Structure 1
């Protein structure tokens, strides 16, 4: 197989893995729901072999679990495990926020300032869908600004595993009034190019998430 063909195959497999991952995170498949290779092959117009590889990739990410002689199913993440994930995220996200404040360019500062105003507007208008999307965008930008590839890879895997609980939190009564100022505090510290303040604001935000998760029904 030529290098070009191999690259095309790898790109296609990555895309299929991403599409199945997105479907799980959207809630198209419920926790513990079996993932039938033939059904997924039809749904995503992919070969059974490609689907099997995608499921193996997602099992490695912790989104899917393989069942002996029974295929695969969506892995359910308990509240206790979600709390542990946030506790692990804390150190990594503090690191990324610190690095983002150190690396911030004037061009990046302008983009981040615009994002801050969009977050404020979505919170003011109580647009929860828009607000949740902007929060994800903020997290992604902080990771990108950090330039820390290892922390970014680990965080993306952890965030994927806890996405369902993050969705529950986004719609928790009064959550937007607490989280919006926390997100803006993180952005302000990065914009001020104050690494320790950015890390502290990030830690306080995630500590609030742990406290809220602890109060969710199991």
Structure 2
């Protein structure tokens, strides 16, 4: 649902086929996760995350992702390393074909795979909560010309460090990637015309 969309309980009940109580409970959970805002006497709406807040969220996410990368390099199995390499190959194919939407989905899957290999549930859960607030900004960032290729190079180094079982290098690669994301988010750039 796009940021700013008003959430009408009756519409959600009909659309989702659940009870009004279930909808209210779900909205309460989304409010607690900062994905939805509730306004007295006006209802709820999907929360709008400003660019400045997106940068701050990414700054918070960076050390958690570095921890996950470090732990993944320490704990990755041979089968997980093979899956990471194969996934990276799929990501390269998406970039080569210009399918930035697919590439964006594959990035999220890659971060999930790193989180699984890390076997650090607390950090992975915190990253998931932060990530959910950034979807709109990540989508817009992925539409910028050349950004997917830059990102792919950074994530290739991350996967190489993890599969080489080099925790220091994996940590550094994760930090470098998220610093690059922060720099790209901070650059003035015209709206690429994607959904808001």
Following superposition of structure 1 onto structure 2, how do residues 62-141 of structure 1 map, counting pairs within 5 Å? Answer: 62-141=34-113
- Stretch deviating more after TM superposition (190-199 or 106-115): 106-115
Q: TM-score, normalised by structure 1?
A: 0.84
Distance in 1, Cα, partners of 2:97 & 2:3:
32
- Name the structure 2 match of 1:45: 17
Matched, 1:177 2:149: yes
Query: Which runs of 5 or more structure 2 residues have no equivalent in the other structure?
Result: 192-196
SS in 2 for 1:72: strand
SS of match in other structure, 2:108: helix
Structure 1 equivalent of residue 121 of structure 2: 149
- Displaced runs of 4+ in structure 1, greater than 4 A? none
Q: Report the counterpart of residue 20 of structure 1 in structure 2.
A: none
Shift of 1:147: 0.8
Look up the match of 1:163.
135
**CA apart distance, 1:216:** 4.1
Structure 1 unmatched runs, 5+: 1-23, 25-29
The structure 1 residue matched to 2:28, chosen from 31, 35, 56, is 56
1:59-118 superposed Cα distances (whole Å, 9 cap, x missing partner): 111110111122211110000000000000011000000000000111111111111211
| Greater mean deviation of Cα atoms: 100-109 or 123-132 | 123-132
Partner of 1:191: 163
TM-score, length-scaled by structure 2: 0.93
Aligned length, in residue pairs? 190
Provide the residue aligned with 2:194 in structure 1. Answer: none
> By percentage of residues, which structure has more helix?
1
Quote the offset at 1:126 in angstroms.
Answer: 1.8
* Deviation string, structure 1 residues 23-50 (Cα, Å, up to 9, x no partner): x2xxxxx322210100110111111110
Asked if the contact 2:77–2:117 (Cα under 8 Å) also holds between the matched residues in 1, the reply is: no
Secondary structure of 2:45's aligned partner: strand
Q: Is the 8 A contact 1:79 1:216 kept in 2?
A: no
